[in-house]
Amino acid sequence: MKNILLLTFILLITMVSFGQIQEDDKIESTQKKHLAVKYRLFPTQNMWTFIKLNTRNGRMWQVQFDVQENNRFETYLNLLPLASKEKEIDDRFTLYPTQNIHTFILLDQIDGRIWQTQWSMEPDYRGVLPID
């Protein structure tokens, strides 16, 4: 009887240990999928338009692509960095879409500051405005 209990105990410990190792592997593989990078492209609801974000300092550009060469361009949304050079780190800034096709919210993931980001085909309607 002692042998059966000992064998059952060892079997249970082995199974629990193996389950924990597999769970740790899943967590590590999930973390590896997200690489810290300097630039990211964010799709808009317009199939031809993306926003390119410098994740280190918050600078952004509107990127337009098309099958016709004369409709492709890249133009700035904001030229001024939103973080000082010494405080730049990869993935500091990220964008969140809103229900408005032309509006995104830019978030500084370090200090929590936010901006309203507008893209448009019309230069007068592009820009980045702080939300206080």
| pLDDT tops 60 at residue 34 | yes
Query: Residue 60 — φ and ψ, nearest 5°?
Result: -140, 150
pTM of the entire structure? 0.73
Which residue from 69, 67, 68, 78 is spatially nearest to 119, judged by alpha carbons? 78
Mean pLDDT score of the chain, rounded to an integer?
Answer: 86
> Does 104 score more than 60 pLDDT?
yes
